[in-house]
Every structure is written in C-alpha cells, then in structure tokens.
Amino acid sequence: MVDVGPGVGALVIYAGDDLRGQEIEISPAGFDSQRVHTDVLRRRTASGFVFAAVFGSLAEGSYQLWHNSQPGPVTVAVEGGVVTELDWR
C-alpha cells in the first residue's frame, strides 16, 4: 500500500530475484547521511509475483538511491500524487 497525494509520492523499484531480501537505501539529494531503507521482497500483483522495493510515502523532491549493485547513487525524482517506478532487473 502506498500513500500519495499533494506533495507526497511513492517509489517502486522492480528487481531481480538476486536482490531478494537485500536493502535499498534512499536519501534526499544532498543529504547522503539521512538514509532510510526498505527490503526487496516478493510481492503479489494482479499478473503474478514480482520482486520489488517500495518506498510508500516520500515528500516530493529529488532523491539518491543506494545499493552495491549500482556503480554509484542513482538519482530519482518523486512527484506528488504519483507512484514512480524504476526497473533494476
């Protein structure tokens, strides 16, 4: 479940089974030390199962994503009222 609306969005990162159970961290852009994390979990969708990390409620703005599978932080923009999706498969 996500909580989106004016000024608040959500982020879903689709991942492969190789990231199952691992943490993906996120921080507001420019504030690397303010990281929080969520796990990549097997999640049920209408069309079957996927592996995904979900940040269900984020203030609108620019963020950095952190995981050792990436060469460095990945920048993502979160918009209010929108669920942003990234594919890391």
Domain architecture of the chain: domains with CATH: 8-87 (2.60.40)
CB 80 within 8 A of CB 60: yes
- CA-nearest of 45, 59, 54 to 4 is 59
In sequence order, the 6+-apart residues with CB closer than 8 A to the CB of 25 are 35, 36, 37, 65, 66, 67
Distance CA 50, CA 58 (A): 22
Give the Cα separation of 24 and 40 in Å (integer).
7
The predicted pLDDT at position 31 comes to 97
pLDDT at 86: 97
Residue 1's pLDDT band (boundaries 50, 70, 90)?
confident
Distance CA 75, CA 70 (A): 11
**pLDDT tens profile 11-56:** 999 999 999 999 999 999 999 999 999 999 999 999 999 999 999 9
